[in-house]
Structure 1
Amino acid sequence: MSRMVTLLAGLLVLVPSAAAVSHTRPAPLAELTVTSEQVASGLRRPIAITGLPDGRMLIAEKAGTVRAYHPDTGLAPDPVLDLTAQVDTSDNERGLLGITPAPDFTRTGMLYVSYTSLPSGTLTLARLPLGAPERRQVLLTQEHAEYGNHNGGQVAFGRDGLLYWSTGDGGHANDPFKSGQDLGTLLGKIVRIDVNRACGPKPYCVPAGNPFVRKPGARPEIWLYGLRNPWRFSIDVDNSLWIGDVGQGLVEEIDHIRPWQGGSNLGWSCKEGTPVFDQEQCKAGVRYVDPVFEYEHYMTESCSVTGGVVYRGSRTPEARGTYIASDYCSTLAFAVRPKPGGGYESATIGTFPTQPTAFGTDVDGELYVLSDYPGWLSRVRIDAGA
């Protein structure tokens, strides 16, 4: 698998009920361990997973199909949604990239998806009711024709009711279009839009609080910039974003962006993680937000960060508030957590099954992980103990 492997997925972190919340003291990260139990197989390049309020989990397959899994009945044999007629899979990293239910899914059955569309691989954000692909409505697109890699593709709703969508920098290597620092394009960004209303000819509105609404030449949809390929991010209960941004050849990084940090510049391609990557892209007086965790490739046999989620389940209350992520090649289980007095702590707490591509949570906040070419779904268990 090349270093530029960056499939996409969308996942929505479902918040457990208030009854599940306690004041249990967090366990030291060094006392946490993860184990995984395979619960389904036979998936075809699963790349995105999201939980539904009825207990099902939807799993997106790269070619454009969506499968349903329930812990009581297993993996349904037939897709619940088929978008293969719209999805461009001409490159290893193109395809159906992300999926998330609307906050009012129980009433509307509405899903939001991201994919590379035929015929030229345009990055596409759309919505449609589950099981009704003919009612698909395209919301937002970004041209991405020259290279097939670095498509981003995560899609998720925040606690503010707004929709967040990630895009890659345009592909190839070395940020060829210098899009990471260019506010005039949606490439290399995380955007934030209001899909509950339409403004003018657009089927969405730009929130008034977006940071570049009044900046000449900037796309007003942009929430964050300076990203290389954020193919996994998740939104925690405080509406902060945890982002796994794929590095080039030196480090992989995880960023934690609080709700008040809209407009943050995460550095690419001035920086790759904390090291300077391209001095010509670094501008005097610009503030770059450094990652809260980064790791080198060669020390860990890693290649591409698979961003995860903050654990909010009830089975292991000692692990609540801990962000869990991995790497596509090394499969190491990374745990990251803010310290009460500031800063972050991190630890490696085990490994996941081969080729982890996405983490998701069920209706109870418990973790699952997908494995790419094996086509597996595994339930993740976190244990706390010395």
Structure 2
Amino acid sequence: MRVLNTLIFLPVFLLGLAAPAAALDSSAGRLKVETVASGLKSPWSFGFLPGGGVLITEKRGRLWYVGTDGQRRAVGGVGPVDVNGQGGLLDVLVPRDFAQSRQLYFSHALAQPGGGSGTAVATARLNGDASSLTGWRVIFEMERGSSGGRHFGSRLVEGRDGMLFVTVGERGDRPSAQDLGRENGSVLRISRDGRVPGDNPFVGTAGAQPEIWSYGHRNPQGATLDLRGQLWVSEHGAKGGDEVNRIRKGANFGWPVISYGRHYSGRKIGEGTAKPGMEQPAYYWDPSIAPSGLMIYSGRLWPKWRGHFFVGSLKFGHVARLSGQPLALRERIKGDETSRTRDIREAPDGTIWVLSEGQGALFRLSP
């Protein structure tokens, strides 16, 4: 495979088609690969803006804007983030009403009193020329009491009702994922101002955190809605046991009581692979692929892929495509450009965009 020139910046959505491009092999034929941005350091997420621009987050706390002219510039106004192990500036969400509200949402690690840190969600407005954020405000932070730099989760998804889903890892504290009194290891649901929706499943449950929508998760770093508006997440297991899960309101997904993997030491995890009252994954990997990023494709440019799941692999540097009922692995799309795939999303024009931590670059795939 030909290596891309890592200094190229191509216009977003309507990329400079005359520029050199590589290709990836897939079941749907050769995929043209073009570089949107390169020279990134620990990129974590990206989001599409109306009119063709794109925002890219870096874990170290930087936010970049790439315009339709292909030029990249730093965006000022990012608030305090705790760059600590796997934590830092993580996901970015561009809500559906952005063209009117100019509002953005970010997940990040936030330092907390006592030396720990937790997953938090902040909101801010993007100014007209996309050079700066204003009004950075934290609307949610998890309860204090977690330390270390592991398992922040941190994907953000806007539900069809406008509520926000937030994935939170168990912060390396395995038993906390079964404790409804802590947000660790859960999918949360909050309003856009951080309030708790009254129809959340544990509102009114004594001792439970009312933001919790589902629990028993290890470290969900992929989340998206399917074509019917159903929420799905992909999450890291330990040595095996990575999962894709169809999220149900109030459901317990089992970690660390049940798992299809083992601890890194080789020891058995919990009580086995199943237990009454705990959900089974829609798909799992053993050994682990270290999944990050999840997309369910509309079929716009590749009709045969409508409704298919695309999951990035940090460990093996590929994009896994799954489909069917039950879900099954159909292929692995792999090349230099999928090295440590951190995020994957469908653009408004139906192209598929891949954020490679290994390459420090954002790529656009087209037929």
User: What's 1:42 paired with?
Assistant: 39
Question: Which residue of structure 1 aligns with residue 19 of structure 2?
Answer: none
Q: Report matched runs for 1:343-354 at 5 Å.
A: 343-352=326-335, 353-354=338-339
Aligned to 1:17: none
In structure 1, the partner of 2:9 is none
1:12-32 deviation digits (Å, cap 9, x = unpaired): xxxxxxxxxxxxxxxxxx944
Aligned residue in 1 for 2:269: 277
Partner of 1:52: 49
Q: CA deviation at 1:53?
A: 2.4
Deviation at 1:188, TM superposition (A): 0.4
Who is 1:211 aligned against?
201
Superposed, 1:59-208 pairs within 5 Å as 59-70=56-67, 72-74=68-70, 76-83=71-78, 86-91=80-85, 93-118=86-111, 120-131=116-127, 132-142=132-142, 143=144, 145-171=146-172, 175-176=173-174, 178-195=175-192, 203-208=193-198
What are the Cα deviations for residues 4-50 of structure 1, in whole angstroms up to 9, with x where unaligned? xxxxxxxxxxxxxxxxxxxxxxxxxx944674614121112111011
Q: Name the aligned partner's letter for residue 77 of structure 1.
A: R
Q: Would you say the 8 A contact 1:35–1:351 is kept in 2?
A: no
Residues 1:328 and 2:324 are matched in the alignment: no
| Partner AA of 2:147 in structure 1 | E
CA gap 1:327/1:217 in 2 versus in 1, 3 angstroms: same
Contact conserved, 2:88 with 2:108, CA < 8 A, in 1?
Answer: yes
Aligned residues with identical type, % of pairs: 28
Contact 2:243–2:283 under 8 Å retained in 1: yes
The answer to whether structure 1 residue 360 and structure 2 residue 348 are counterparts is no
Distance 1:328 1:69, change over 3 A: same
Q: Distance in 2 between matches of 1:213 and 1:144?
A: 22
Provide the C-alpha distance between the structure 1 equivalents of 2:207 and 2:146, rounded to a whole number of angstroms: 22
1:375 and 1:332 map into 2 onto residues whose CA distance is 15
Residue 311 of structure 1 is matched in structure 2 by 297
Partner residue of 1:263 out of 235, 250, 254: 250
Query: Is this contact kept in 1: 2:318–2:341, CA < 8 A?
Result: no
Question: For 1:179, what is the secondary structure of its paired residue?
Answer: helix
Look up the SS of the partner of 2:99 in the other structure: helix
- Asked which structure has the greater RCO (Cα within 8 Å, sep 6+), the reply is 1
SS in 2 for 1:78: strand
Return the letter of the residue paired with 1:37. V
Deviation at 1:127, TM superposition (A): 0.5
Superposed CA RMSD: 2.5
What TM-score comes out, normalization by structure 2 length? 0.81
CA distance in 2, matches of 1:99, 1:266: 25
Q: Do 1:66 and 1:82's aligned partners in 2 also have CA atoms closer than 8 Å?
A: no
**Contact kept in structure 2, 1:359 and 1:368, CA below 8 Å:** yes
SS across alignment from 1:230: strand
Q: 1:133 and 1:107 mapped to 2: Cα distance?
A: 16
Alpha carbons of structure 1 residues 311 and 86: separation in structure 2 relative to 1, 3 Å: same
Q: Does 1:376 align with 2:361?
A: yes
Cα shift at 1:237:
3.1
For 2:100, the aligned partner's letter is R
Structure 2: 5+ residue runs without aligned partners? 1-25, 263-267
CA contact (8 A) 1:34 1:351 kept: no
In the alignment, the residues of structure 1 paired with residue 156 and residue 168 of structure 2 have an alpha-carbon distance, to the nearest angstrom, of 10
The alpha carbon displacement at 1:216 in A equals: 1.5
Per-residue Cα deviation, 1:208-257 (whole angstroms, up to 9, x for no partner):
22111132211111111110000221122322122111011122111123
| In structure 2, distance between residues paired with 1:227 and 1:81 | 34
One-letter code of the match for 1:312?
Answer: S
Separation in 1, partners of 2:55, 2:322: 26
Say if 1:263 and 1:273 are closer, same or farther in 2 by CA, change over 3 A. Answer: farther
Count of equivalent residues: 326
Letter in 1 for 2:82: D
- Displacement of 1:134: 4.5
- Matched residues in 2 for 1:36 and 1:44: separation? 24
Q: Is the contact made by 1:273 and 1:291 (CA closer than 8 Å) also made in structure 2?
A: no
Q: Distance in 1 between matches of 2:236 and 2:329?
A: 18
Partner of 1:221: 211
Q: Structure 1 residues 122 and 36 mapped into 2: Cα distance closer, same or farther (>3 Å)?
A: farther
Aligned-pair CA distance for 1:281: 12
- The amino acid that maps onto 2:83 is T
